[in-house]
Every structure is written in structure tokens, then in C-alpha cells.
Amino acid sequence: MPKSRKTVVRETVTLYEAKTHLSELVERAARGEEIVIAKSGKPKAVLVPLSDTRAERKPGRGRGQWRVGRNFDAPLPPDVAATFEE
């Protein structure tokens, strides 16, 4: 589970500054800062930290790693089934 991040006041930088110091700005954003990038004094984009950096799930990656028992879809024992009917 990702850590919650503190809200940080946004800083505005020019497009030129963003191009010149992109690596530094990306590191700052990764630490939780939000950075507004402006062109000719007008905000154009926001550099924000990612909230979830887990890898995307890919269907089929677990194929062959587990088995479903033969009785998987067999009726439940009467005492267990009764708890669902209460």
C-alpha cells in the first residue's frame, strides 16, 4: 500500500527552467512536491508525484502455478450451506 504524501504548496517554474532542470524537478516531484510549468506566464502543465508505482498486472503470468481441486464446485457441506441461508 502506498504511503500517503503530504500536500505541498505548488511552485511555478518557466518552461525554460523546467527543460534546464528537468531531472531535479522530477526528483522533487517524486518526494511529494507539485510543480506548475508555465509558458509566457500562463500555467500549461503540472508535474506531480505518482500515487501508485506498482507494475501493471499481465493476464496469464500465473498460468500453471496453481491448481483448482476436482471438488471446487461441489455442493457445500450442509452445516456450511446453512450459515449462508440464515
Give the pLDDT of the chain (86 residues) as one tens digit per residue: 445 556 566 899 999 999 999 999 999 998 989 999 999 999 999 999 988 778 888 898 888 898 899 999 999 999 999 998 87
- Whichever domain contains 9, its CATH number is 3.40.1620.10
Q: How many domains does the chain have?
A: 1
Half-sphere exposure (Cβ direction) of 20: Cα atoms closer than 13 Å: 5
Put the strands of the sheet holding 42-47 in their side by side order. Answer: 11-14, 35-39, 42-47
Q: Write out the residue range of the structural domain in which residue 6 sits.
A: 1-50
**Single-letter code of the amino acid located at 1:** M
* C-alpha cell recorded at residue 18: 523546467
By DSSP bridging, strand 35-39 and strand 42-47 are antiparallel
pLDDT for res 74: 93
The model carries a pTM of 0.54
Output the pLDDT for position 61. Answer: 87
6 is a domain residue: yes
Residue 85 is assigned to a structural domain of this protein: no
